[in-house]
Structure 1
Amino acid sequence: MTEQDLDGLGPVDFLVIEFPAGHSTFTGEIAEELLNLVEAGTIRLIDAIVLTKDGDGVVDAMELSDAGELGALVELEAQLAELLAAEDVANLANAMDPGSVAGVLVYENVWAAPFASAARRAGGRLIADGRIPIQDIIASLEADEELEETGA
């Protein structure tokens, strides 16, 4: 990428979505929603891999093309930058439970690129970011609701 390309880059995030042993029901819905995000210009997929961790903790990383039938994802797979290194894979796999499968996505938040570029041109720099897991939000809302109901 050129310096000009990098100047226009939006924030880049990654997700690791784990599917515990015996709890995955892949129907193609995930791929369809990912394609919808790309086609809408919300994100640009930079890298995607599938990780498996056996019962002994041995990890195998596969590029999308090695993971089986890609369907409509075949178009995206050809454009991936393959940014993740072996060390990244090892670090990400540490969070996985034995016997699970995980999808790893690295993506640019295209929707935020104009804002990010403007902030950089104004001399700003990102010094922290984060994400609140939806499970934590649900737990917090449920706790607030119970507090209201009990008055305690």
Structure 2
Amino acid sequence: MAIGPVQLIVLGFHNPEFHGEITAELERLRESGTVRVIDALAVHKDAEGEIEVAHLSNLTDEEAREFGSAVGALIGLGIEGDKGFVAGAQAGAEAAAEGVHVFSDEEAWDVLEDIPNDSAAALLLIEHHWAVPLRDAVVKAGGFRISDGFISPLDLVELGLLTAEEARQAHELERAGSAR
């Protein structure tokens, strides 16, 4: 089975009181074939920086068995305690032996460090189904991915895609939670 491009998205929350809106939207995207949530974790960091982790997912039972705790392994979080750390290390060693690049300590993205104390984050590992045909066409044409990233709404003004007011509103909407 071809897997689409995979992305880790980290969303921060002050005083999270989830009422199912995010899960419902992810389920809608799944049903439409747009994205698949490979794994999802909710991480709460208390005022002292102590971490609590809860597994979130809309995977089928079969997919959950296939992917396990992918986010935990990716960011080095031993969600299954010592067994999780050992399993992550073994998976990384096997991937490296097969020629797959594994993050070095210098390259690692310390996701947990980026989460402010006394807040929470949802860590979503998603597969972009919509991008599979595009990626395949690029590969067929001899192309390859060099880089990617999200563009701030403020940068879209210069391109004429948003007015200054629309960009300001979109930027404020994206950053509203971080200002608390």
Q: Same fold (TM over 0.5)?
A: yes
Corresponding residue SS for 2:71:
coil
Q: 2:178: which partner in 1?
A: none
Identical columns (%): 34
1:30 to 8, 18, 22: 22
| Matched ranges for 1:62-81 at <5 A | 62-64=54-56, 73=58, 76=59, 78=61, 79-80=63-64, 81=67
Deviation at 1:60, TM superposition (A): 2.6
Q: When the two structures are aligned, how many residues end up with a matched partner?
A: 127
2: CA distance, partners of 1:136 / 1:49: 30
Corresponding residue SS for 1:125:
coil
User: Alignment RMSD, CA only?
Assistant: 2.8
Q: 1:47: which partner in 2?
A: 39
Q: 1:84: which partner in 2?
A: 71
2: CA distance, partners of 1:137 / 1:97: 28
Is contact 1:46–1:108 with CA below 8 Å preserved after alignment?
Answer: yes
2: CA distance, partners of 1:128 / 1:19: 28
Q: 1:109 to 1:86 in 2, by over 3 A?
A: closer
Q: Deviations over 1:51-104 (max 9, x none)?
A: 111111122332227xxxxxxx4xx26323122245615611111111111111
2: CA distance, partners of 1:100 / 1:42: 29
Deviation at 1:25, TM superposition (A): 3.0
Corresponding residue SS for 1:107:
strand
1: CA distance, partners of 2:139 / 2:70: 23
- Asked if 1:141 is matched to 2:135, the reply is no
- Asked if 1:19 is matched to 2:30, the reply is no
**TM-score normalised to structure 2 length:** 0.60
- Asked if 1:132 is matched to 2:151, the reply is yes
- Asked if 1:9 is matched to 2:11, the reply is no
Deviation at 1:133, TM superposition (A): 4.3
Corresponding residue SS for 1:84:
helix
2: CA distance, partners of 1:135 / 1:56: 34
**TM-score normalised to structure 1 length:** 0.70
Is contact 1:45–1:107 with CA below 8 Å preserved after alignment?
Answer: yes
Is contact 1:10–1:117 with CA below 8 Å preserved after alignment?
Answer: no
